[in-house]
Structure 1
Amino acid sequence: MKTIKIAGVPEHFNLPWHLCIENGEFSTAGINLQWTDVPEGTGKMCQMLREEETDIAVVLTEGIVKDIIAGNNSKIVQVYVKSPLIWGIHVDANSQYKTINDLKGTKAAISRYGSGSHLMSIVNAKNNNWDTQNLEFEIVNTIDGAVEALISQKADYFMWERFMTKPLVDDGTFRRVGDCPTPWSCFVIAVRNEILETQPHIIEQILEIINTTTEEFKHIPSIDRTLASKYNQKLEDIQEWLSLTQWSQHQLDKKTLDKIQNQLYTLNIIEKVAPYETIVK
């Protein structure tokens, strides 16, 4: 039995992995796939790859592209979710801010530098023609940290996946003032280069198993009810999310990677544009 460590956010996107693990599909193939939930998100997972705390990470595309260019010794082996991530832009429910434009010049709560919440706050600023060089950030680590920061006014707004944050809108903790979809496929699977070099067959098996599940995922009986119950969501919200979400079984193409790198470079998030082969396996 070969042990492989994998990390991902504790969100509905990753239920296919948990189903495969619970159903014994990896263990049947001789793989002990050990999952770690990482509520801090992509920035933390990039660190875990660098420090060999995980072998695989299911991460936001823009975050891992940035980190590989910055020296993370990993590569993208596949797109996991090809649809955009819809980032909700949230303020405290009692906040004076009513629109996205009201947030110009205010402070964004982010999980950590290099995270999706950090990078997408820069993308959102560009979309609204704000000065991206003078943005202010408050590191909050998790959604719970963001709640505390917005209530205490240490930060003014917080960007996070719209549906996972919806219960906080419904219960009156947050108010959503707008959305900011990623202009590219949202999640990819990244693997440390050492594992790719020493265990290529194991990685191929893992991808084959997860791809079989994601291809059929939406057709699993009552999967909407399972998701709603497991992730504390309203059934109608999960049904809308499922209608918008598309998993992938294919590699990130060069055209998409070029688009991501060019935008990150324009926003001064990366210092250079790297060759396709440096980032993608």
Structure 2
Amino acid sequence: MPLRIGYVREHFSSPLLQFAEADEGRTIALVECPSGTGQLISRLTKDEIDVAMQLCDHTTQLGRISRLGSGSQTMAYVMGFQQGWPSESMNFQVNNDIRGLIDSVNDHSTAAFMWEWFTTKPWLDSGEVRFIGSVPTPWPSWLVAAQPSVNTEALKQFLTTLSSYVRSFDSAESRATKNVNFIKSRFGYGEEDIEAWMKTVGYPQDCLTIPKDVLMNTLSVLENAGVVKSPEGGFTVERFIDPKVVKLA
């Protein structure tokens, strides 16, 4: 049975989409989760997907979120920490997806929201929203999470194959030609916007290797933002990976 891969259909997912297109359902089946990280976590918890490809990169606009536990909520906490706001004073209304968030600022039921910059830009161009600031994520954009019951070898094979598509997408040749055409045809973005985005983004070369300092820095930021609480004695970074699948670097 193919692995059920939950994902958000955004330009960041292009290597995964190229993988799925070539795979033709033999080893993976994509399950779209338009509401983002919160929906991915929910479906993973309910065993509706085997693997969650979570995008944690939100570099924009506060008040409304897509779902509880979403990147839009987490980044709001990060922004609050940066501004010195107590996390317990931050309250949120859920609007499910980007469309709901856009509608909420236009009907004045909320003042602002946070979403990834280039994903939001088409609505900026159409005049439906305006940018008021940015909050860069203090961690890499992607997280891959899987059900504990997922076959280890199948998961390793998925990550190995995905790595090859990521490296191809990240190559200088693809950046100059193929990527622009692929993203333009799949998402309708203008070439100028795609080229600008390509200059700001990088991809890991090996999805089976996780830098230890990345995990520790991420946990530190989340703890300071009040999102997670460190156990007595501090975090043990090895608890956050499956050593049968990936390795720390």
TM exceeding 0.5: yes
Taking only aligned residues, the RMSD between alpha carbons, in angstroms, comes to: 1.7
Give the aligned residue type for 1:275: T
Match of 1:130 among 56, 68, 85: 85
SS at match of 1:35: strand
Retained in 2: the 8 A contact 1:26–1:206?
A: no
Instruction: Give the structure 2 partner of residue 241 of structure 1.
Output: 197
Q: Determine the C-alpha separation between the residues in 2 that align with 1:144 and 1:168.
A: 10
Q: Secondary structure of the equivalent of 1:224?
A: helix
- The TM-score with structure 2 as length reference comes to 0.87
1:268–1:131 distance in 2 versus 1, CA, 3 Å: closer
Deviation at 1:222, TM superposition (A): 2.9
Query: Is the counterpart of residue 174 in structure 1 residue 136 in structure 2?
Result: no
Q: Comparing both structures, which one devotes a greater share of its residues to strand?
A: 1
Note the alpha carbon deviations across 1:94-139, whole angstroms, 9 max, x for none: xxxxxxxxxxxxx611011111000101111222233433123111
Runs of at least 5 residues in structure 1 that lack an aligned partner in the other structure: 62-84, 90-106
2:45 pairs, out of 18, 36, 50, with 50
Name the aligned partner's letter for residue 159 of structure 2.
L
Q: Tell me what 2:161 maps to.
A: 209
Question: How many positions carry a matched residue from both structures?
Answer: 233
Unaligned runs of 5+ in 2: 243-249
| Contact in 2 for aligned 1:111/1:141 (Cα 8 Å) | yes
Question: What TM-score, normalized to structure 1?
Answer: 0.78
Deviation digits for residues 207-259 of structure 1 (CA, Å, limit 9, x no counterpart): 11111111011433432122023212121111111121111124322222111
Residues 25, 206 of structure 1: alpha-carbon distance in 2 compared, 3 angstrom cutoff: farther
Identical residues among aligned pairs (%): 26
2:245 matched residue in structure 1: none
Matched, 1:228 2:227: no
Query: What letter matches 1:253 in structure 2?
Result: P
Larger relative contact order (Cα-Cα within 8 Å, sequence gap ≥ 6): 1
**Cα displacement (A) at 1:25:** 7.2
Q: Which residue of 1 is the match for residue 241 of structure 2? A: 280
Give the Cα separation in 1 of the matches to 2:240 and 2:35.
23
Task: Name the CA distance, whole Å, in 2 between partners of 1:228 and 1:179.
Answer: 24
CA contact (8 A) 1:109 1:138 kept: yes
